[in-house]
Structure formats: structure tokens, C-alpha cells
Structure 1
Amino acid sequence: MAKIAFILLCHKDPEAIIKQAKRLTAAGDYISIHFDARANRADFEVIHEALFNNPNVVFAGKRIKCGWGEWSLVQATLYAVEAAVKRFPRATHFYMLSGDCQPIKTADFIHDYLDNNDCDFIESYDYFESNWIKTGFREERLIYRHFFNERTRKWRFYLSFNIQRKLGLTRKIPEDIQVQIGSQWWCLRRRTIETVLEFTRKRRDVMRFFRTTWIPDETFFQTVVRHFIPEQEIRTRTLTFLMFTDYGMPLTFYNDHYDLLLSQDYLFARKISAEAEELKDRLGELFAKTGVNFQISAEGPSLFKFLTGRGRIGRRFASRFWETESTLGRDRELMIIVCKKWHVAKRLLDKIRTETDIQSIAYLFNEENTPLPDLGGIQATLNKRTRHRRALARMLFDYYDTDRLLICLDPSSLDLLHDFFGDRSATRLLEIECAFPDDYLIGHAMRIGLAGPQTPAETIQRLLPTIRQDMVLESDRIRDADFENHVRMRQVDTKEQHIAVLQDFLSIDKDTADKIASTGHLFAD
């Protein structure tokens, strides 16, 4: 009978990971876990302590920091695969999972399915001939070298790309491989996995090539498996059910999707909402049952398209209005920096981005030209962003695949603060209190149209007390709101005081807070 070694890449929710591992191994299968080194070490220690003595659990020999679109995701997978091959000699299949995946069939059904299909399940379409890539880079993913993360180092990513393109610094694809592309959620037989590992040791040229391609988790295994496995032994499909919205985001499944999921011709589903506890419990109970007959109708994608295409928001199988508009997610943390001097907040934001892995965006609700990813048009104007504030924030959490997001707001945006603090997510506020000398206030008056180059000095002097009082009033209104988790960082405070505030606000260690607090000319105008 098939014995599966599940390869689990995860970075959050330790309790869910523990529950998932215990459930899968209780059926006699194995699991190899790579927990992202960027994630909270305390979370990893919780997982390690809970599962260390389970003989069917192994941890990747090395934890590395993973980033979307980077080689690090493939390398983390290889570390977990190597650990599983070494620890579990009886494993017949290796199945890729994420922490958001859940079985949608019984363990007996899954084992019988693999026993009756002696093949590898991996999406692998011809990279250049297929229509798998809908928009954006295609050949550019391969012929140019990509050294930076497009999501966290966007400016460097595109600068490097544009320099290479301008200078014609292209490279050749290794001649004896035909690049393939497909989903990273594969299930491979043991002999295939062992051949892949042997390939990684022998073909250093191919490894060097893929290390600097963009989004290699969609091409590496897909290409290498096709390189040596006969076509008749490959099923070009994934056994994990997943769908995407019109925004290109993975569709999330909720409690009322139970019947839909069971009727699909797949073994697992991704991604299950972190808040769908009832669905996860029901699927867990189902996994342990025996003798269950499944009526496979596979209508999921067509039904989803039909219902959402008619705007039935909030109805069964469609996007949840209350999920997309009314909450960011209970397990997510939104951190907000409020500062009237935008250049001060942006300097601090840049330093935080350099010293931590916290995804951060500047004044997205106050500044039209704030760089944002394409989210289907919701980000196009300040009016749209403000009107759909929670939907935009939730989509940014999903886009960057993170549970912690840092943004900046102007102190005048009190309505936005009230709205975000009313969410079920954890919301934290750092108010930066700056000094406002007369020269700055005069410049501010000109920027907002209260004064111009020809305005008499006497008139400007009469304006200054009113403008200064207006800024004080904005700060007072924020304090009067009595928001929880509200801390202040004042220009007149000492560096040690700044360090303590940053530690509290960002939940970081003192050394990292010290580096951030040492930002050069932070309060300079």
C-alpha cells in the first residue's frame, strides 16, 4: 500500500501545523516540515516540541528564509525532501503541501488512488508553447538573472532587470533541457524523487541556471521531472484542488464549502480559511473514516465562475462580502505609523524594511503615486482605495503572503484609524511626534495652497498659529480616541526611549530596534 511522505512548507499558525501533522501521521503516513526561518522562532519551537518525539515526523535539516518568487522556496523544498528520503525509507510517494491545505478524501481513498495510478502527478506544460502564463514576464523569467525579490525589493528588481536588458546581458537556457511550467503542488513517486536529488548533485549548470530564474517553484521540478520520466508515466495535473479569483489570488474555502470540496476529483484542497474551524474539523473527521463512497462531479470551477459572474457576492461558493470588506483576518496584524511629516515616516519605513522582513507600504491612502501591485483596479485611485479600505488591505496581505503589514497614514485620517481598529485583526499604532518650526509650517502652508510666493509675510505670520494648532488638534483627536496598542515616538525623546517604543510597536529584539532607531537624519527637514 502507498505510504506518503508529505512535504510541508509553512510559516505561521503553529497550532494548525501541529494538528495537521498529527492527523496525517495518524493514518500511517509521514511528514517532513520546513518552517520558514523568517517566521517567529518561538512558533517553530512550539511545533518542534510538540512533534519531535513523533517517529513519523522529520524536520528539514536546514531552515532558510523564504521569499515569494525566489529560489529559496525550491531550496526549502529540497531540504525537506532530502530529510524525508533519508528518514522514511518505506515512503513510496512524496506529496507537496502548504499549511493551508487539507485532505478532502479519506486516507483509505487517497492510498488506494495512488496504488491504482503508478505515475507522477505534476503540472508540466511547455514553457513557451502553453498559455500557462497569462500576463507579465515570460521569456524574461529565464534569459535574465534575477537577484532580488520583486515584492520586497521592487526597485532593485526592476533596476537590475532594466540594466541587463539595456546592455543585452541575456543568457542561454541549458541546451539539453526543455523548460516546463505548472503548479508547485505535485505528488511524485520515490524513484522520481531520488532521481531528482541525484540530478541536483550532478547537474550544477542547471542548478545555477534555476537559482536566478524568477518564480522557479513553477518551473524547476516541472522541468527536471520531464527530463527523465517518460511521458506516459506523468499525469499533467495536480492532486490538490485550488482555484483563482479574477484578481489572480487563490480562492479561499469556508465552512459551507464542505460538500463542494468532497465532490471534486482531487485528494487535497488549498487554501482553507484560517477561520473555517468547522470545515477543518469536518475534513479531519472524514480523513479518518473508512468505507466512504464519494460522488465525483468536479463542478467546482464552472460553478464558481457561474455564480461570481452574476455578482452574487456573499452567496454560497462565491466570495464573501463580510470576509473581503469587513475583516482583514483574525490572525493578521496591521501596524500603522501616523506622522504629519511624511518624509520622516518614509525614512523610518525604509529602515524597518531593511532590518526586518515586515512588508511595508507608505501613504497608500494619502498619496496617489504610492507604488502598489496591480490588484485588479481597486488600487487605481485614492477614492477607490479609501472606499474599499479593508478589501484593499486584505488583498495586500494575500498578495504579499504575510500576516504582518505596516502602512503609513496622515494624522488627518482619523476615520481610517477608527475603521481599522474596529476590525478583528490585531491593529497597532505608532504616532511620531515631530517638532514644527516656522519654516516647516510656511512650507506646509504653500504645499496645501494656504499661501503662495506672493503672500505677504504679515499674512503668513498670522496663519502660523492656526496651522500649528490644527496639527496639535489632529494629534489630540487621535489620543482622545483611546486606541489600544497606541505608542508615541517623540522627536525630543532620547535614543533609548525610541528603541523601547520600536521594540514594543514592531515586536522585535533590542539590537534590531537599535539599528532602526539609528536611522541617519530621521527628523531632518
Structure 2
Amino acid sequence: MAKIAYILLCHKDPEGIIAQAERLTAAGDYVAIHFDARARSTDFDRIREALQPNPAVVFAKRRLKCGWGEWSLVAATLQAVSAAVDAFPRATHFYMLSGDCMPIKSAEYAHALLDREEADFIESFDFFKSDWIKTGIKEERLVYRHWFNERNNKALFYGSMKLQERLGLARRVPADLQIQIGSQWWCLRRRTVEAVLDFCKRRRDVMRFFRTTWIPDETFFQTLVRHLVPEEEIRTRTLTFLIFTDYGMPVTFHNDHYDLLVSQDFLFARKISPDARDLKERLGNLYASQGVRFSISNEGRGLFQFLTGRGRIGRRFAPRFWETESSLGRERTLLMVICKKWHVAKRLVERIRQETNLPAVDYLFNEASTPLPDLGGIQSTLEKRTRHRRALMRMLFDYWQSDTLVVCIDPANVDLMQDFASDKAVLRLLEVDCDFTDDYLIGHARRVGLAGESSPREVIDRLLPTIRYDVKFESDRIRDADLPGLHRIRQSAGVDENSVALAAFLGIPSEAAQAIARTPHLFSD
């Protein structure tokens, strides 16, 4: 059975550290603690005094002063790992934690998972090819030597880097290593940890290299594990649930996040607010429990991105300078059917094809599988279609040899509507206003990954008002954009009212418009 040695890096909250260590060891596991030497010595004395009698707790032999982005974090981790390897010969796994982490599953669940998977859990993506680094310097982290901390000595940090660049002092990565990058929160098997420690003793050149890299806690273990362990024995993921904001800061969880956290496919979560006492108590009790069955929905990160993105303008396609394309042509008319329920719009457009013989395309800017003719590759991806949207539309007009074209578009794409409205061609829009039941919105949330089949009802109930408001917000944005030629049909309206809007939108006789408005089950889900 798995026995876990938790590697606990911490620098504050002595009472929380004591509680964490007692909770983890009570379940039969071990804890190795490194307490930052920058922290108050009285806090460390309090921790040592409380935990010294516990045989399942060990302290790193040396306390190091740690700084974010520095080698000191890796060195502190190695100190704690070495202490754990020596003190706990029965430990089968070593799991990195911070003082802000809390378990979101039971110890029973964690041990069973590790027993099933004969593998190491560590994010390890190719440093140069992946897009794991979202902002800031990239190759410069490795090829230049970093002696100063960017947060504390910004001028010296960048001055030193520019001086090395000017003098041609860029260095090579160790030839036999493929540098990897990923989260510092890993869980490794004992033989992997022992292989890493042995590698550190043998390869002083690699140790010298990483000592002067920037943010080595995101590259050191990730690279060495990939170098030492067969690929089939590595799970490129972390078992600790964490979310980062757009500004690179970790999201903090509070008392009302319990249901969300326990439904994620992770063992721990970071980071828990120090004031979330109720959450900590509930999660602590959960870790000690037995026989608990967990329903995994795993929608946490997608849900966070959705909720935090609601206040932005141009949410589906962020505001940007659109690539300038030439006009579609003054003599052409583009007809856009705007509808959140894609199946309703497709049903309507199919009937328009039958009644008018106009060429029509479904959600070409939203659905990659939309059938399109071969246009030389410009149609191959959603990104290309959006970037070259006017060229794409011109080619579609030419392909069908028609001066009128009908397309479907999602209400979120106001940016695209405004862009086509600025063209010399005639643009007319038809907004299809549908009714949205709670069941439909729940299904929508599951289809787009905001919820899963096993999402707790409490999470769903909190999510529903936001999704409903989001649909209304998109409709309001279309109206506020003051787009020309905007017409509207409604699920709650009668055939006569809707046929008037359809006739004006399509430029067809009222009889043909009424035939379209009478489409059987037009608004059905």
C-alpha cells in the first residue's frame, strides 16, 4: 500500500503547519518540513516544539533563505527530500506541498490512486516548443546566468542580462538534457526520487547550470525526471488543483468552494485562504474519512475562466487590430442569422435554402466541422477563417456565383458583426430570440465544459443565473452596437409577426416568409 512522504515547504502560519502535519501523519503518512530561514525563528521554534515528538515528522537539516524564482527554492526542496528519504524508508511516494495546500480527497482515495498508477505525476512540457510560459522572458531564463532577483532588484536583473547579451555570453544547455517545464507541485515514486538525488551528486555540471537559471523550480525536477524515467511511467499532470489568474497569481479558495474543490480530479488544492476556517475544517475531516465516494466533474478551471471573463468586451475574440482585408463588394449582400441555439439556426437556414435557393453556410466562425468547399486552405481552421474573414467571404460569394449569402453566427461574435458592418457590402442581421429553460442551460454548461455530469447541484444552482445573464448580455451588446439592418424573430411571437421580420431580412415576398416562419418545430430543443 502507498505510503506518502509529504515535502512541506512553508514560511508562515505555524498553527496551520502544525495542524497540517498532524492531519497528514494521523492517516499513516509522513511529513518532511522546510521552514524558510527568512521567517521568524519564534515561529519555527513553535512548530518544532509541537511536532518534535511525532516520529512521522522530520525537519530539513538546513534552513535556507528562499526567494521566489531563485535556486534556493529547489535547494530547500532537495534538503527536505533528502531528510524524508533517510528518515522514512517505508515511504513509497514523495508529494510536494506548500503551507497553503489542503487535501480535497480522503487519504484512502489518495492511497488507492497511487496504488493503481505505477507512475510519477509531474508536469513536464518541452521548454522551447510548448506555450507553458504565457508572459515574460523565456529562453533568457536558461541561456543567461541570473544572480539577482527580478522582484527585488529589477534594474540589476535586467542590466546583468543585457550585459551578457551584449558581450555574447549566452551559454549552452547541457547537451544530454531536453529542458522541460511545468508546475512545481509533483508526486514522485521513491525510486525516482532516489535517482534524482544520485544524479545531483554525479552531475555537478547540471547543478551549476540550474543554480543560475531563473525560476528553476519550474524546470529542475521536470527535466531530471523526464531524463531519468521512461516516458510511459510519467503522467504529465499535477495532482494538486490550482488556478492562475491572467496576471500569473494563484486563485485563492474560500469557505464556499468546498463542493467545487472535492469534485475536481485532484488530491490537493492550492491555495486555501488562511481565513477559510470552515473550509479547512471540512477538508481536514474529509481527509480522515473512509468509504467516501467522490463524483468527479472536473469543471473548475473552465468555470473560473468563464466567470472571470464575463466583464470583458470582445470576450470570445479578444479586442485586437483586425487584419485589413479589401471589401466584399458594394453589389453584394451578406445575411447573418444570429442565434445562441445553433440547432435552431441550422433548422431555420435549411428552410431558407429550400424556400429561396440562396446559398447558406452554418456556423463557419464557430464550428470547425462546418462543411465548406476547398478554398485553398483558408477554410481549414477557425483561426484562419477568422483572421482572413473578408477574403473567405469573398471566395464563398465567388464559389456560389451569387451576390447574396446567408451565414450563421454566434451572438458572442459582435466584433465580427461590426467588422462586416463597416464593409461596403450590404449587411442585414436576423436575431433569433429563443427561450432558455434551466435544463437547456445545464446541458449547455455541460457541453462547453463548465459543468460535468456529476457536478454538485450547489455548483449548478450558482452557475445558472450567470449563464442566463450571459445570454441576455450578448443580446444587449448586439443592440447597443447599433448595427444597421437588424431584424428579430422570437420564439414567443406568432407566425405573422415573425414573417414580417423574415421578409425584410431576406428581401422575399410575404408568402415565402410565412412558409419559413411556419417551419415545423422550429424552436424545439
* Aligned residue in 2 for 1:23: 23
* Aligned residue in 1 for 2:82: 82
- Letter of the structure 2 residue corresponding to residue 201 of structure 1: K
Is the aligned partner of 1:293 residue 2:283?
A: no
Q: How much does 1:47 deviate?
A: 0.2
Q: How much does 1:134 deviate?
A: 1.1
- Letter of the structure 1 residue corresponding to residue 247 of structure 2: Y
Q: Could you list the runs of 5+ residues in structure 2 that have no partner in the other structure?
A: 313-525
* Aligned residue in 2 for 1:229: 229
* Aligned residue in 1 for 2:112: 112
Distance of 2:216 and 2:310 partners within structure 1? 36
- Letter of the structure 1 residue corresponding to residue 306 of structure 2: F
Distance of 1:171 and 1:248 partners within structure 2? 28
* Aligned residue in 2 for 1:187: 187
* Aligned residue in 2 for 1:255: 255
- Letter of the structure 1 residue corresponding to residue 257 of structure 2: H
Q: How much does 1:24 deviate?
A: 0.3
Is the aligned partner of 1:303 residue 2:303?
A: yes
- Letter of the structure 2 residue corresponding to residue 176 of structure 1: D
Distance of 1:247 and 1:158 partners within structure 2? 20
Distance of 2:167 and 2:308 partners within structure 1? 46
Distance of 2:306 and 2:216 partners within structure 1? 33
* Aligned residue in 1 for 2:166: 166
Distance of 2:246 and 2:150 partners within structure 1? 21
Distance of 2:194 and 2:86 partners within structure 1? 10
- SS for the counterpart of 1:296 is coil
Report matched runs for 1:307-456 at 5 Å.
307-311=307-311
Distance of 2:310 and 2:134 partners within structure 1? 23
* Aligned residue in 1 for 2:125: 125
Distance of 2:144 and 2:172 partners within structure 1? 9
- Letter of the structure 2 residue corresponding to residue 264 of structure 1: Q
Distance of 1:69 and 1:120 partners within structure 2? 24
Distance of 1:294 and 1:208 partners within structure 2? 45
Report matched runs for 1:492-503 at 5 Å.
none
- SS for the counterpart of 2:188 is strand
Runs of 4+ aligned structure 1 residues displaced above 2 Å come to none
Cα deviation code 1:59-79 (max 9, x no counterpart): 001001000000000000000
Is the aligned partner of 1:151 residue 2:151?
A: yes
Q: How much does 1:265 deviate?
A: 0.2
Cα deviation code 1:217-264 (max 9, x no counterpart): 000000000001000000000000000112211000000000000000
Cα deviation code 1:325-384 (max 9, x no counterpart): xxxxxxxxxxxxxxxxxxxxxxxxxxxxxxxxxxxxxxxxxxxxxxxxxxxxxxxxxxxx
- Letter of the structure 2 residue corresponding to residue 280 of structure 1: K
* Aligned residue in 2 for 1:51: 51
Is the aligned partner of 1:207 residue 2:227?
A: no
Distance of 2:97 and 2:135 partners within structure 1? 26
Distance of 2:131 and 2:43 partners within structure 1? 40
Distance of 2:228 and 2:32 partners within structure 1? 25
Q: How much does 1:155 deviate?
A: 1.7
- SS for the counterpart of 2:289 is coil
Distance of 2:182 and 2:67 partners within structure 1? 19
TM-score (norm 1): 0.59
Distance of 2:118 and 2:303 partners within structure 1? 31
Cα deviation code 1:75-129 (max 9, x no counterpart): 0000000000000000000000000000000010000000000100000000001
Distance of 1:254 and 1:181 partners within structure 2? 29
What percent identity do the matched residue pairs reach?
72
CA RMSD across the alignment: 0.9
- Letter of the structure 2 residue corresponding to residue 178 of structure 1: Q
* Aligned residue in 1 for 2:332: none
Q: Could you list the runs of 5+ residues in structure 1 that have no partner in the other structure?
A: 313-525
Distance of 1:311 and 1:56 partners within structure 2? 48
Q: How much does 1:311 deviate?
A: 3.7
* Aligned residue in 1 for 2:281: 281
TM-score (norm 2): 0.59
